[in-house]
Structure 1
Amino acid sequence: METYLITGANRGIGFALVQQCLANGHRVIATYRDKASANALFELAFESGLLTLVQAELDTEAGIEGLVGELAGQALDVLINNAGIMGPDQQDLDGLDSAAWLATFTINTVAPFHLSRLLLPNLLQSARPRIITISSQMGSLARQSTGSYAYRSSKAAVNKVMQVMATELADQGVIVCPMHPGWVQTDMGGMEADISAQQSAAGIVHFVQSLSMAQSGRFWTWQGEEHPW
Structure 2
Amino acid sequence: MSRSTEPPVVLITGANRGLGRALAQSFATAGATVLAACRDPASATFAPGQGAIRPLPLDAGNPDSIAALALALAGQPVDILVNNAGIRGAMGGIDTLEPGDFGAVMAVNALGPLLLTRALRPNLLAGRRRVVAMISSSSGSMTEGLDPDGDYAYRASKAALNVMTLKLGYDFPDLTCLLFHPGWVRTEMGGPEATVDADTAANGLTRLILAARPQDSGTFRRWNGDPMGW
TM-score (norm 2): 0.92
CA displacement 1:93-135 (0-9 Å, x = unmatched)? 2210011101100000000000001101000112321000100
Instruction: Using the TM superposition, give the Cα deviation of residue 49 of structure 1 relative to its aligned residue in structure 2, in angstroms.
Output: 5.7
Q: Is the contact between residue 176 and residue 214 of structure 2 (CA under 8 Å) also seen in structure 1?
A: yes
Of stretches 108-117 and 207-216 in structure 1, the one that deviates more from structure 2 is 207-216
Match of 2:31 in 1: 25
Q: Which structure 2 residues correspond to residues 1-229 of structure 1 after superposition, within 5 A?
A: 1-35=7-41, 38-41=43-46, 44=47, 50-90=52-92, 92-143=93-144, 144-146=146-148, 147-170=150-173, 172=174, 174-229=175-230
Unpaired segments ≥5 residues, structure 2: 1-6
Q: Quick one: distance in 1 between partners of 2:213 and 2:49?
A: 32
Query: Relative to 1, partners in 2 of residues 1:35 and 1:117: Cα closer, same or farther, differing over 3 Å?
Result: closer
Unpaired segments ≥5 residues, structure 1: none
Instruction: Using the TM superposition, give the Cα deviation of residue 53 of structure 1 relative to its aligned residue in structure 2, in angstroms.
Output: 1.0
Three-state SS of the structure 1 residue aligned to 2:187 is coil
Three-state SS of the structure 2 residue aligned to 1:40 is coil
Provide the aligned length of Structure 1 versus Structure 2. Answer: 222
The amino acid of 2:136's aligned partner reads S
Instruction: Using the TM superposition, give the Cα deviation of residue 56 of structure 1 relative to its aligned residue in structure 2, in angstroms.
Output: 1.4
CA displacement 1:144-190 (0-9 Å, x = unmatched)? 324210100100000000011011111x2x10011100110000111
Report the RMSD for the aligned CA atoms in angstroms: 1.5
Structure 1 runs, 4 residues or longer, greater than 3 Å off:
46-49
Of stretches 218-227 and 8-17 in structure 1, the one that deviates more from structure 2 is 218-227
Instruction: Using the TM superposition, give the Cα deviation of residue 60 of structure 1 relative to its aligned residue in structure 2, in angstroms.
Output: 1.6
Query: Relative to 1, partners in 2 of residues 1:62 and 1:39: Cα closer, same or farther, differing over 3 Å?
Result: closer
Q: Quick one: distance in 2 between partners of 1:193 and 1:49?
A: 29
Higher helix share: 1
Q: Quick one: distance in 1 between partners of 2:134 and 2:8?
A: 18
Percent of aligned pairs sharing the same letter: 36
Instruction: Using the TM superposition, give the Cα deviation of residue 47 of structure 1 relative to its aligned residue in structure 2, in angstroms.
Output: 5.4
Q: Quick one: distance in 1 between partners of 2:50 and 2:152?
A: 40
